[in-house]
Every structure is written in structure tokens, then in C-alpha cells.
Amino acid sequence: MMPLPPQVTLVEVGPRDGLQNEAAAIDTAAKIALIEALAEAGHTRIEAGAFVSPKWVPQMADAEAVFAGIRRKAGVRYSALVPNIAGLERAIKAGVTEVAVFASASETFSRRNINKSIADSLAGYAEVATAALAAGLRVRGYVSTAFGCPFEGDVDPARVIEVTEALFAMGVEEVAVSDTIGVAHPGQVHALLRALAATVPLRAVALHFHDTRGTALVNVYAALEEGIVTFDCSAGGLGGCPYAPGAAGNVATEDLLFMLDGLGITTGVDRARVSAASRTLEPQLGHPLPSRLLQAESARR
Ligand code: HMG
Ligand code: MG
């Protein structure tokens, strides 16, 4: 076990993962205001949207308008998901400088989410990554269902390692190993990261935990002990994938900051300002924000 790192980087995925699964239509102006407020709160990496098929995910259909509307703050990286070359072309036209491709470690989820086998998706992503890098963009990769699949159950860690290696081989600079449905436990996190460390640089691995079973924070702690220094999180704890039944939101940025601040681990992100940003969404959502920290604060009021 390593000593905990003094500093970590947060990747705020609330404007994408958080909003892609909401039943209520969130207007573009509210998305822009959220992204700007999250940047003001100190986030340096924000996933601001997805250039996916609007038929598949209507909540992300306004990605062009979101990117056109945000005032970009110096020092902040704004990224977007792209599933194919058509998505990359849309992103480049919208002035996006960082994209993410999203593969899966389980066949059924891959087909449900992007209508492709894992092998076909990786072949397509290699083309996307090559074109994106040639255009001067930064590229991130995701490996979904790394700890379990909503359709197949257990996922073989060897599959996760294979897909992670394939993403690095196509030139992505970081891979977000993702617990899509929130089934991971810390023992699994230690084991998978130790196995990955044999062939993959862990400094280039991010962890993306959904918090369905309340294990996301302890999973982050386990990952910190293995030397991981980049974590995805979502303002208010919103999130979920429309093609992953039963998945709850990502670990809430507020809850994660409560733990990291308490441990003395620097992030540069201000918890009160993130909370205020999340709260502005509440009237449009039609349900309480999932963050336990925000719910505890509401109960005290
Ligand atoms: P398909 O239907 O197989 O694709 O979808 P197609 O190539 O046959 O195209 C069908 C139609 O979509 C055509 O239009 C295309 O032009 C259009 P039509 O001729 O019918 O009018 N199209 C597009 N339009 C706009 N932008 C595009 C685009 N591509 C095609 N980029 C496809 C395949 C991949 C497009 C579809 O399955 C898709 O968009 N899937 C995305 C699903 C998604 O966004 N899921 C959520 C994000 S992933 C996630 O949440 C997990 C993550 O958080 C990590 C974790 O937690 O695990 C990242
Ligand atoms: Mg996710």
C-alpha cells in the first residue's frame, strides 16, 4: 500500500454523465451556467457534453449550443464524449479540444450502449483517436463495466486489462476505468489496479465510480492507496447511463471533496461553490440531488 497522494485531480462529469440520464429536459442555459459555475469552483477538467446520436441520448442533443455558449476559463479543460467519426467532426466544428471514446469490457453492454461489439468499437475508436490526435486534440478513453455488467454480471479482469491496453495503444493519454453500475467493492479495486499496474501506467488511469451501493467513496480510498491520482465525480451526485439499467449517479463531487478535504488531499476545488452550483439545478430536476452531503445539509435546514 502506498502513502496517500498529497494532491489529486478531479474530472467533473456532471454536465455529461450527470445530465444524460435525467428525465426532465434541462435547458441549455442551465447547462452553460452549471459548467461556468463548476469552473469558477476550481475544477480544471469538465466533461461538458456528448456528441452522440440525439436519437439515442436526447439529453445531449444541444452539445453544440452548450460548447458555443460557455465562457472558457483559462486553465480549464472542457471535454466531450464522441462515439464515432461523425461525433468527432461535430466536436471539432464546435471548437472542442479534448474528446473521450467509450469502450466496454462486456459484450452485451457494448452492444446496448453503442450498437457494436467490443472488437468493432475498438477498431472504430482507433480511427477516431488517430483523427483526433492528428487534429491536435487530447483523447481520453473509458472502459465501462470494468467491475460488473448489468446484463452479464461478473466481468473478467483480463478483459478489462485487454481493453485498457487497446485504448492506450491507440494513443489515448488517460483511461477512465469505470464502474458503470456501481457494483465495485474495495477488494476488487485493489485487485484490478494491481493487475493493471503490470502493463499500464497507473498515473494515466482515472477511476470513475457510480455510487449505487454506497461503496464509491471507499472505492476511491482503495484506489488512492494504489496510487491513483485522478477521479471522476459529478456535481450533486447526478448520473447514470440510459443503457445501464439500475445504475445510480457518479460519486458526488461534494461527498468526494468532504472526504478528500478531511484527509488533507488537495484538489483546488471549493466544496461550497460546487454545492451552490448543484443546488441551482434542483428546481429543474423534479427530485432531490443524490449527494448524501447535500441531503444531510437539507435535513439540518
Ligand atoms: P447506430 O444507430 O448503430 O448508428 O448508433 P448509425 O451509424 O447506424 O447511425 C444511426 C443514425 O444516427 C444516423 O442518422 C446517423 O447519422 C446518426 P439517421 O440516418 O438515422 O438520421 N448518428 C449521429 N448523429 C449525431 N452524432 C453522432 C452520430 N452517429 C450516428 N455522433 C451510435 C450508434 C454509437 C451513434 C449510438 O449507439 C450512440 O450514439 N450511442 C451513445 C450512447 C451513449 O451516449 N451512452 C451514454 C454515454 S456512455 C456512459 O455513460 C458510460 C461512461 O459514463 C462510463 C461508465 O460509467 O461506464 C462514459
Ligand atoms: Mg458513467
Q: How far apart are CA 80 and CA 16, in angstroms?
A: 8
Using CA atoms, how far apart are residues 75 and 90, in angstroms rounded to an integer? 23
In this prediction, residue 227 carries a pLDDT of: 97
Cα 163 vs. chain centroid, distance in angstroms?
A: 17
Please indicate whether residue 142, judged by its CB atom, sits closer than 6 Å to ligand 1: yes
Residue percentage of the chain with pLDDT more than 90: 97
Distance CA 238, CA 234 (A): 6
Which one of 26, 61, 241, 256 is the catalytic residue?
Answer: 241
pLDDT tens for residues 183-233?
999 999 999 999 999 999 999 999 999 999 999 999 999 999 999 999 999
pLDDT tens for each residue of 126-184: 999 999 999 999 999 999 999 999 999 999 999 999 999 999 999 999 999 999 999 99
CB of 243 within 6 A of ligand 1: the answer is yes
pTM of the complete model beyond 0.75:
yes
CB burial of residue 169 (10 Å; 0-12, 13-18, 19+) = exposed
pLDDT surpasses 80 at 1: no
Q: Is there a catalytic annotation at residue 149? A: no
Pocket test for ligand 1, best of 13, 53, 92, 115 (most atoms within 8 A of CB): 53
For 67, the grid coordinates are 460548447
pLDDT tens, residue by residue, 23-33: 998 999 999 99
Strand ranges, E, within 174-285: 174-179, 205-209, 230-233
Q: Is 174 helix (H, G, I), strand (E, B) or coil?
A: strand
Residue 295 has pLDDT above 90, yes or no: yes
Mean pLDDT of 60-72: 98
For ligand 1, what atom is nearest to the CA of residue 116?
A: 3
Helix, strand, or coil (residue 280): coil
Task: Name the average pLDDT for the chain.
Answer: 97
